[in-house]
Amino acid sequence: MRRKRGKPVPSAAVATMTTAEAVVETLIAHGFGTIYALPGVQNDLLFEALFKASGRLRTVHTRHEQGASLMALGAALASGRPQAYAVVPGPGLLNSATGLLTAYSMNAPVLGLVGQIPHADIGRGLGHLHEIRDQAGIIRRLVDHAALIRGPEHASRATALAVRAMLSGRPGPAVLECAIDMWGKTGVDALQRPLPPAVRKIDIDAVRKAARLLGAAKRPMIVCGGGAQDASAEVTALSAMLQAPVLAYRRGRGVLDSRNPFSVTLPLGRELWGEADVALAVGTRLLFQFREWGVDRDLTIIRIDADAEQHERWQRAKVALTGDAKPILQALLAELPGRNARRAPRRAEMQERQAKWRRRLEKIAPQIAFLEAMRDELPEDGIFVDEVTQLGFAARLAFPVYKPRTFLSPGYQDPLGWGFATALGAQDARRDVPVLAISGDGGFLFTACELASAVQHRIPLVTVVFNDGAFGNVRRIQQERYGNHLIASDLVNPDFVAFGESFGAAAVRVHAPQELRHALRRAFAERSVPTLIEVPVGALPSPWEFIHMGRVRGR
């Protein structure tokens, strides 16, 4: 008799399995191919299980737990698949917290396996190694789904439930805790097959209403966030049908190819927001729009979001569709043709307006010249990972992105150090395409210890460090707003070339965009070891006037 999908599968082999082995087998059954991890005594038996399964599940160890969680995040973002990491409790968990927090803000499916003190002593405050008060409580503040593995019979199902939770509704990270004396216990009764994620039925009446509103709109516009990354074809078709510009700033870049003149980023996007009569928001918080640009009665907002609660934040949308963007947009595309007004082509207008903003962005020409060199050398499907640095701010505005999931920019967390470590995970998960990370001298050293992991695990990431000898962004603010009261913003740096070479990476220093071009060409052709390229720069012109531009509606 065939078992129904989702039912536990008992087998004779599981009887001798440990809790750890059940977790590992369940991860493998869910398609996990790698775990990013840093060992310690609480998890010794988990690593013993990973050792035995090493032909089927790779363990990539890092030098700091922040590296482990960020690498898992980068792998999840680049592959579009859930990824896992494992760390010890207490400091291990806290060291990994930036990655978890960023995964939460980016709705990325990252599973943390976190050790615990002896099961019976949890909560007793006895002072076990790495004990932390109310670890479960701390975890519950960081993720929506968390569980303590209570015994071998619970391990496989707990793992499957965590993976399902990560992929249901608004995706996001999850954590499983397991005590030092629980990993090795036997008594597994069955392995849990993957449980299908919860899928919402599409509200077809709401889709028809959205189609009517969009079809009648005079100046429709689409705004994409990270939730639109898997709906590129649909957004592209809808943009053409409606002659609607598609705005993406960070997480939504690449959904509509930048070579399409309807693909816009911030300054032009804000201008178009001020003119739009109907806006379709796809998987975005609409943060700039609500917080800075304004809304009014002349603008009808239609939202598609995986999270029903998102519709209630700021103000309720006229039409609120909850679920995955792709099938909802497919339904919308099917409903629209009969309702769509005849539309004059806007291509020439969009080309002209793009050209006007390109000229205005010449204010940040030094950054743009470096971005052009990087874009020209990075293949079309190569992945660019930004960072909170001058070149990162410019990239969010002006780096052309051709494909979904090829521009990784953290959401609202913007944690320094994310770039290098996250890019390592992206490059590890997507060995088939080159990955390019950029950092400032400040951000790079947050996670630079992972150069050792890059060399050890042969991850051929190319990293460009723009070195201005400062927390440049902070320094500029101190100069411009606080009467040049410079404090805690100057940096004494290592020799980055010697630093990179000492790890066994290829390292080079270049000064001009043209030199950067050649260095990148060599690095992408070689790809046998990680490459570090240092670019010494002076103070760069401020991009902020193109980012925080103020209200355009609802004055």
In whole angstroms, how close is the CB of 493 to ligand TPP at the nearest point? 9
- Which of 89, 225, 472, 500 touches Mg ion (CB under 5 A)? 472
* Spatial contact of 221 and 247, defined as CB atoms under 8 Å apart: yes
Candidates 18-26, 126-134, 375-383, 408-416: pick the segment binding ligand TPP (CB under 6 A).
Answer: 408-416
Question: Does 99 help bind ligand TPP (rule: CB under 6 A)?
Answer: no
Of 141, 81, 85, the residue nearest 112 (C-alpha)? 85
- One character per residue 454-493, x = contact with ligand TPP (rule: CB under 6 A): ------------x-x-xxxxx-------------------
- One character per residue 415-444, x = contact with Mg ion (rule: CB under 5 A): -------------------------xxx--
In whole angstroms, how close is the CB of 536 to ligand TPP at the nearest point? 12
The amino acid that residue 369 corresponds to is: A
Nearer to ligand TPP, 210 or 388 (CB): 388
In whole angstroms, how close is the CB of 384 to ligand TPP at the nearest point? 16
Distances (CA, A) of 322 to 111, 310, 325, 371: 24, 9, 8, 37
Question: Does 40 help bind Mg ion (rule: CB under 5 A)?
Answer: no
Cα separation, 455 vs 459, in Å, equals 6
DSSP assigned state of 42: G
> Which residues, other chains included, contact 486 with Cβ-Cβ below 8 Å and sequence gap of 6+?
475, 478, 479
Block residue for tokens 């012109």: 541
Cα separation, 217 vs 219, in Å, equals 6
Query: Beta strand 83-87 with 110-116: parallel, antiparallel or unpaired?
Result: parallel
Nearer to ligand TPP, 118 or 536 (CB): 536
Question: Does 441 help bind ligand TPP (rule: CB under 6 A)?
Answer: yes
> Which residues, other chains included, contact 230 with Cβ-Cβ below 8 Å and sequence gap of 6+?
80, 324, 325, 326, 404
Question: Does 234 help bind Mg ion (rule: CB under 5 A)?
Answer: no
Question: Does 419 help bind ligand TPP (rule: CB under 6 A)?
Answer: no
In whole angstroms, how close is the CB of 242 to ligand TPP at the nearest point? 37
Question: Does 440 help bind ligand TPP (rule: CB under 6 A)?
Answer: yes
Residues numbered 358-397 forming contacts with ligand TPP, rule: CB under 6 A: 388-390
Candidates 53-61, 110-118, 303-311, 465-473: pick the segment binding Mg ion (CB under 5 A).
Answer: 465-473
In whole angstroms, how close is the CB of 477 to ligand TPP at the nearest point? 9
Block residue for tokens 């990148």: 520
Of 555, 42, 18, 13, the residue nearest 293 (C-alpha)? 555
**Number of separate helices (H) and strands (E) present in the chain:** 21, 18
In whole angstroms, how close is the CB of 393 to ligand TPP at the nearest point? 8
> How many other C-beta atoms can be found within 10 angstroms of the C-beta atom of residue 142?
17
Cα separation, 235 vs 334, in Å, equals 13
Residues that bind Mg ion (CB under 5 A): 440-442, 468, 470, 472
Residues that bind ligand TPP (CB under 6 A): 388-390, 414-416, 440-443, 466, 468, 470-474
